[in-house]
Amino acid sequence: MNYKYKYIVIEGNIGAGKTSLARMIADTYNARLILEKFADNPFLPKFYREPERYAFPLELSFLAERYTQLKKEIGHFDIFSPFTVADFYFMKSIVFASATLEEDEYKLYRQLFHIIYQSLPKPDLFVYLHADTPVLVENIKKRGRDFESAIDEKYLLKIQNSYFSWFRQNPGHTYLIIDINNIDFVNNEEDYEKIRDLIFRKRHGKGLNRTILN
């Protein structure tokens, strides 16, 4: 199979299933898998308890961690894998920062972000898994992470709006937005095949490409 993409990023709001899909694609195609390392971030539980106090150190720590991880892992070429799939990209930093930081903090953060962003390779395809906020809340509850228990629909909606703002402001990339509200690609093989078909068999132009799966 001749893969048209060498670097695919699976993005989405909290609880959308991006890590699950990235793992499934990597297993299906023997692709190189890059997963975000966030579990050990000491600021994350503190942020969910006191967001105003810990937002800035949290976002700075993620900025540094994501850059370090991507610079190291993307720079390493794997001859045994047909392509690379990741469950995050560096732009996630600015998406979350714009939703969590105060205006003066965000201005400083944005300057740092763009300096670093220019030095990283860009994905061939962004896949964004879109689910309504009630669905996301239910998924978050199911996975049972204590530090995520304070996440509500209002916060998730801010993150969603921030993602779409980034897409609109950066039309030079290729975005595949998949509405997954009516499918279960983790437990239903046919639903997973629908997503695979969209990613690997359909053509997508630069800018926003939207699909609702049923």
Q: State residue 79's pLDDT score.
A: 63
- Domain ranges in the chain? 7-212
87 is catalytic: yes
The CATH architecture of the domain made up of 7-212 is 3-Layer(aba) Sandwich (3.40)
Looking at 87, 146, 152, 179, which residue is catalytic? 87
C-alpha–C-alpha distance, residues 96 and 111, integer Å? 15
What are the angstrom distances between the C-alpha of 140 and each of 32, 53, 78, 135, 152?
26, 23, 33, 9, 10
Residue 87 exposed, middle or buried by CB count within 10 Å (0-12, 13-18, 19+): buried
| CA-wise closest residue to 9 among 123, 117, 91 | 123
| Tens of pLDDT, residue by residue, the chain (214 residues) | 567 899 999 999 999 999 999 999 999 999 999 999 876 788 988 998 899 999 999 999 999 999 999 988 886 666 678 999 999 999 999 999 999 999 999 999 999 999 999 999 999 999 999 999 999 999 999 988 888 888 999 999 999 999 999 999 999 999 999 999 999 999 999 999 999 999 999 999 999 999 999 9
Q: State residue 76's pLDDT score.
A: 67
C-alpha–C-alpha distance, residues 193 and 190, integer Å? 5
Q: What number of other Cβ atoms are within 10 A of residue 102's Cβ?
A: 10
C-alpha–C-alpha distance, residues 7 and 147, integer Å? 31
C-alpha–C-alpha distance, residues 105 and 16, integer Å? 28
